[in-house]
Amino acid sequence: MNVLEFIRSFFSDGSHWHGYDGIPQRVWEHVQYSASALAIATAIGLPVGLVTGHTGRGGNALAFVSSAARALPTFGLLVLMFVWLGIGITPVMIPLVVLAIPPVLITTYEAVRNVDPSPVDAARGMGMPEGKILLQVEVPAALPLILSGLRSAAIQIVSTATIAAYVSLGGVGRYIVDGLYQRNYEKVVGGATLTAVLALLVLVLFWAVARVAVSPGVRRRRTA
């Protein structure tokens, strides 16, 4: 039985579309875990990246923190948090947030630092406050790269949120973990396929957001 046949069998089985273990329920749980982790990582990494990128201070510290966070094994951190905190959503959120902060933080910092200094200097010459310069001049110009960092973080989270199933939570990782335990490879392949589809949907979502949020002038400069 090949992979395509496993996929067809999994999605054509009506029992996989209903109940607490149905695909809609598992996908919704996965989306909740992923959205929560991305929101927390963005709330931490985005402001720090914006401020440090604007001031130009703390770049080396950010690089060190991001490298250290990337070096942490996600699954190992999950096990450590599970042993320390017990069953719950928190042991899952911590490793996912740690995984997502570096791309948000570093990409935001680099995006702001690489903004053309001419309009920034012109805004300062007009007496514009530093906060307005950051939000009204630098952020619009840096938005494409900032969104790319958020997109990278979102894809990593969606792809890794399957670890929630290892600590008795839900999500599409439930199919992978249960399928391996039961030696039901149809479930394993189905769970992996759902994870890949969710990651592709993240790409489409961020493409749509970029089309709406990024000004046409900035898009033209980036493609020129």
- 127-136 confidence digits (pLDDT tens): 888 888 888 8
Distance CA 87, CA 167 (A): 7
Average pLDDT over residues 49-57: 88
CATH of the domain at 13: 1.10.3720.10
pTM, whole model, 2 decimals? 0.90
The whole domain housing 148 covers 3-223
Number of domains in the chain: 1
pLDDT grade for 107, boundaries at 50, 70 and 90: very high
Q: Quote the tokens at residue 44.
A: 């931490």
